[in-house]
A and B are shown apart, each in its own frame.
Chain A
Amino acid sequence: MSVGSVLLFAYGNLSRGDDAVAPLLLESIQNNAQVDLKKTAILSDYQLQIEHALDLEQRKLVLFADASVSCKGAFELTEVRADRNSSHLTHAMSPAALLQVFQAIYKKAPPPCFLLSIKAEQFELGQPLSQDAEKNLRLSCQFAERLLNKPVLQYWRKFTDNARNIAA
Chain B
Amino acid sequence: MYEQLETTENPDKLKRVVIDPVSRVEGHGKVTLLLDDDNKIKQVRLHIVEFRGFERFIQGRPYWELPVLVQRLCGICPVSHHLAAAKAIDQLLGIDPDSLPSSAAKLRRLLHFGQVLQSHALHFFYLSSPDLLFGFESEINKRNVIAVLENYTDIGVQGVKLRKYGQEVIRMVTGKRIHGSGAIAGGMNKPLTPAERDYLRADIGQIIAWTEAAVGLIKKVHCANLPYYDEFATIPSNYLGLIRADGALELYHGGLRAKDANGATIIDHVDYCQYSAYIHEQVRSWSYMKFPYLQALGKTKGWYRVGPLARVNNCAFIDTPKAEDARQEFKAHSSGAMVHSTLAFHWARMIEALHCAEGIQRLLQDPEILGDDLRAEGERRLEGIGVIEAPRGTLFHHYQINENDIVTKANLIVSTTSNNTGMNESIRQVAATCLSGRELTEPLLNNIEVAIRAYDPCLSCATHAVGKMPLQLELLDAQGQLIDKLIKHAGGDIERGVN
CA distance A46 to B163 in the complex (A): 16
Q: Which of B110-167 contact A (CB under 8 A)?
A: 126, 144-146, 149-150, 153, 156-157, 160-161, 163-164, 167
Q: Which of A92-109 contact B (CB under 8 A)?
A: 92, 100-101, 104-105, 107
CA distance A85 to B490 in the complex (A): 10
CA distance A86 to B490 in the complex (A): 8
B284 interface hit (Cβ, 8 Å): no
A50 interface hit (Cβ, 8 Å): yes
Residue from A45, A50, A84, A107 in contact with B177 in the complex, judged by beta carbons closer than 8 Å: A45
User: B467–A87 contact, CB under 8 A?
Assistant: yes
CA distance A54 to B492 in the complex (A): 26
User: A53–B467 contact, CB under 8 A?
Assistant: no
Q: Which chain B residues lie closer than 8 Å to A53 at the CB level? A: 160
How many residues from B make CB contacts under 8 Å with A?
A: 27
B466 interface hit (Cβ, 8 Å): yes
User: A105–B153 contact, CB under 8 A?
Assistant: yes
CA distance A51 to B178 in the complex (A): 13
B464 interface hit (Cβ, 8 Å): yes
Q: How far is the CB of A5 from chain B (nearest CB, A)?
A: 20
CA distance A46 to B71 in the complex (A): 14
Q: Which chain A residues lie closer than 8 Å to B177 at the CB level? A: 45
Q: Which chain B residues lie closer than 8 Å to A105 at the CB level? A: 149, 153, 156-157, 160
Q: How far is the CB of A81 from chain B (nearest CB, A)?
A: 16
Q: How far is the CB of B386 from chain A (nearest CB, A)?
A: 25
User: A90–B153 contact, CB under 8 A?
Assistant: no
Q: How far is the CB of B174 from chain A (nearest CB, A)?
A: 14
B444 interface hit (Cβ, 8 Å): no
Q: Which of A60-76 contact B (CB under 8 A)?
A: none
CA distance A89 to B168 in the complex (A): 22
B315 interface hit (Cβ, 8 Å): no
Contact status of A104 and B153, CB under 8 A, knowing A50-B145, A54-B164: yes
Q: Which chain B residues lie closer than 8 Å to A84 at the CB level? A: 146
User: B163–A51 contact, CB under 8 A?
Assistant: yes
User: A88–B164 contact, CB under 8 A?
Assistant: no
The chain A residue sitting closest to B143, CB to CB, is A89
Q: How far is the CB of A37 from chain B (nearest CB, A)?
A: 17
Secondary structure class of chain A's binding surface, majority of residues: helix
The chain B residue sitting closest to A51, CB to CB, is B164
User: A91–B126 contact, CB under 8 A?
Assistant: no
Q: How far is the CB of A84 from chain B (nearest CB, A)?
A: 7
Q: Which chain A residues lie closer than 8 Å to B161 at the CB level? A: 51, 54
User: A100–B146 contact, CB under 8 A?
Assistant: yes
User: B466–A104 contact, CB under 8 A?
Assistant: no
B478 interface hit (Cβ, 8 Å): no
The chain A residue sitting closest to B163, CB to CB, is A51
Q: Which of B432-467 contact A (CB under 8 A)?
A: 464-467
CA distance A1 to B195 in the complex (A): 12
Residue from B144, B153, B164 in contact with A89 in the complex, judged by beta carbons closer than 8 Å: B144
User: A89–B160 contact, CB under 8 A?
Assistant: no
CA distance A46 to B464 in the complex (A): 20
Q: Which chain B residues lie closer than 8 Å to A46 at the CB level? A: 75, 178-179
Residue from B75, B153, B179 in contact with A107 in the complex, judged by beta carbons closer than 8 Å: B153
Q: Which chain A residues lie closer than 8 Å to B468 at the CB level? A: 90
Interface residues on A, range: 20 to 34
User: A91–B149 contact, CB under 8 A?
Assistant: no
B491 interface hit (Cβ, 8 Å): yes
Residue from A45, A50, A54, A89 in contact with B466 in the complex, judged by beta carbons closer than 8 Å: A89
User: A51–B492 contact, CB under 8 A?
Assistant: no
Q: Which chain B residues lie closer than 8 Å to A88 at the CB level? A: 144-146
CA distance A85 to B75 in the complex (A): 23
CA distance A100 to B146 in the complex (A): 8
User: A89–B464 contact, CB under 8 A?
Assistant: yes
Q: How far is the CB of B467 from chain A (nearest CB, A)?
A: 3
Q: How far is the CB of B57 from chain A (nearest CB, A)?
A: 12
Q: Which chain A residues lie closer than 8 Å to B163 at the CB level? A: 50-51
Q: How far is the CB of B312 from chain A (nearest CB, A)?
A: 26
Contact status of A104 and B164, CB under 8 A, knowing A86-B492, A89-B466, A90-B467: no
CA distance A87 to B144 in the complex (A): 11
Q: Which of B146, B163, B177, B464 has the most CB of A within 10 A?
A: B146
Q: Which of A51, A90, A104, A107 has the most CB of B within 10 A?
A: A51
Q: B175-194, CB under 8 A of A: which get 1 and which 0?
A: 00111000000000000000
CA distance A86 to B491 in the complex (A): 6
CA distance A107 to B468 in the complex (A): 30
CA distance A84 to B141 in the complex (A): 11
Q: How far is the CB of B319 from chain A (nearest CB, A)?
A: 29
Q: Which chain A residues lie closer than 8 Å to B126 at the CB level? A: 50
Contact status of A90 and B149, CB under 8 A, knowing A45-B178, A51-B163, A104-B156: no
Residue from B160, B178, B492 in contact with A50 in the complex, judged by beta carbons closer than 8 Å: B160
Q: Which chain B residues lie closer than 8 Å to A89 at the CB level? A: 144, 464-467, 492
Contact status of A104 and B150, CB under 8 A, knowing A51-B160, A86-B491: yes
Q: Which chain B residues lie closer than 8 Å to A50 at the CB level? A: 126, 145, 160, 163
The chain B residue sitting closest to A54, CB to CB, is B164
The chain A residue sitting closest to B179, CB to CB, is A46
Q: How far is the CB of B462 from chain A (nearest CB, A)?
A: 9
CA distance A92 to B75 in the complex (A): 13
The chain B residue sitting closest to A105, CB to CB, is B157
Contact status of A90 and B466, CB under 8 A, knowing A50-B126, A50-B145, A101-B146: yes
Residue from A1, A51, A92, A104 in contact with B467 in the complex, judged by beta carbons closer than 8 Å: A92
Q: Which of B126, B160, B466, B491 has the most CB of A within 10 A?
A: B160
List 10 interface pairs A-B (beta carbons < 8 Å), by A numbering. A50-B126, A51-B164, A54-B161, A54-B164, A86-B467, A89-B144, A91-B75, A104-B146, A105-B153, A107-B153
A-B contacts besides A46-B75, A91-B467, 14 pairs, CB < 8 Å: A53-B160, A54-B161, A54-B164, A86-B490, A88-B144, A88-B145, A89-B464, A89-B465, A89-B466, A101-B149, A104-B150, A105-B149, A105-B156, A105-B157
List of 4 A-B pairs having minimum Cβ-Cβ separation, nearest first: A90-B467, A104-B149, A51-B164, A89-B466
